[in-house]
Structure 1
Amino acid sequence: MNVNQMNINEDMKIIDIIDEFSASGVLGAGRVGRSCELLANMISQDDMKVFLSVAGPLVPGGLRNVISTMIKRGHIDVLITSGANITHDLLESFGGSHYREYGFDDEKLNEAGMGRIGDVYTKSDDFEVFEKEIITFFDKITKSIAKKNFNDPKSCDKHNIISIKDFLYEIGLLIEDENSILKVAAENNVPIFAPGLIDSMFGLQLWMFTQENNLVIDAIADMHDLSDIVFDSDAVGAVILGGGLPKHYCLASNLLKGGVDAAIQITMDRSETGSLSGAPLEEAKSWSKAKCGSNLVSVIGDVTIIFPLIYAAALNKINK
């Protein structure tokens, strides 16, 4: 089979360009084309649960509304992400923002009360608002749990205990921002799992709150809920944006049922060091985290460039 040379013109839509990638069939273009086709198939199958794994600064990097849209359209059944993305979603929910074009003199940024994530910038003033607002949410949720325990004659809990998933759900119900990932997920009953929640500004505020308040976050309880989802699923497809803990949590949870049936990975990480973040998806077959015969596509590139293109083209495919 020959490599088809790509044809480009000024009248092409995103789907047309992706189709040209698919027609070429090789290298990065071919992988992008195959990932688009696979994503369209995943979100079109009623019997497939779609797990979205999100690592790296994707909310600061501009993908917040993309993720919210996927949830609203019913294209995600489970979201697994980092504490940092939870933090930055809440930062915007409380009126803060992410900024650009401030330059790279980090010492001057520090003096000006700003932090840097690549070429994305944050303001300490926004984080101060975040810290004040999130504590009020923690307090409301803690009091609600305590009230339920008090009114339940069967409850023997001396502590106000809640799983990470349920905690994030309750926070989502309190948010007013219609574009918030947490809010949209809560409204659409899409569970959010954040196994590394404590490793974030959110986690720091949570730790400080628990020093003086009777609140216990039960991370192990999340595995009960996640394993139920895996066992109750006819098939699982994973969309893995970045690597890290969210990627491993996503794949490892599916080991319980022999692995995912399909997966797309977009990453800039390398495989030579043996890191999970850079590991090709095929490696997951050796661990039964991906089924033998599963449909797997790994794309090497910047998630903030590639995924919006893939998702836009997939929407076009499923809406034809």
Structure 2
Amino acid sequence: MEFDLIARHFTRATPGAVLGVGDDCALLAPTPGMQLAVSSDMLLEGRHFSPQDSPAGIGHKSLAVNLSDLAAMGATPRWATLSIALPEADDAWLTAFARGFFRMADMHGIELVGGDTTRGALTISITVMGEVPPGQALRRDGAKAGDDVWVSGVIGSAALALAYRQGRLFMEQIDAARVLPALYLPTPRVELGIALRGIAASAIDISDGLLGDLGHILQRSQVGAILEFAALPTLPVTQAYLHEKVARDCVLAGGDDYELCFTAPANRRDAVATVAQSAGVAVTRIGRITAEPELTVIGTDGQPLPFDHTGYDHFAA
């Protein structure tokens, strides 16, 4: 049964691998002179997605969040492994899941080369592998005082959608429809990450919240930052709800954005704008790095904005 499931849903040609699905191990030949970037993420039903969510959307999101890690390192996607625990063998669910997964894989040229299936609570675990030239990986420890802080795209939309879905924020249905796609179908900024090699001093993807994820850069780089709340890029529909504290928290610390937060020297602003335009992604300068190891958000009144938390806690109740 297990091997039939793998053969039906997850076995495809893998011209970029020496040997793909079907043996005890895949055989991979990285491009000579390149370094491998490897990352793993796990998604659990009830924690990262709901039972009623579209299986195609789950397939899309499960790979997208992993590709976002490669984007944050400036790595070119190459290969992935996929392990799934399923309560039961459900061909219709797997067919739709595989459709969403492979649509995302084909968009970014990544090949599925192995994995595992077993019975259990619905759990999806993916490992992705990418390539980056030596010394050019975007890391968290390169931010310097005086650097600009940037984010790609818009933030807060996915968290706003989740708050609406959980009943923590009332939204008009027409407004909710504008933010829900960000929760279900995130876009990894792979092309932008690659384009920022040699320009960005540090980078991270925003998965657990802007303040929390930027905090990882600040901690690793031993610096601080001052951000301007008014500069944070959000959808107009999000701005309409910012009078609500929960909406402000969604923007600052909501998570699930899968945008890139990165720093770059102030004299590279033109270069950042040029590569962002070539990648087709809007970027916004939201603050600057400081020597003092403290993170401050300045509100519209020019005063520091209080915040209760900085990001998603995977072990919170």
TM-score of the superposed pair, with normalisation by structure 2 = 0.24
Question: Which structure has the bigger radius of gyration?
Answer: 1
- Structure (1 or 2) with the greater strand fraction: 2
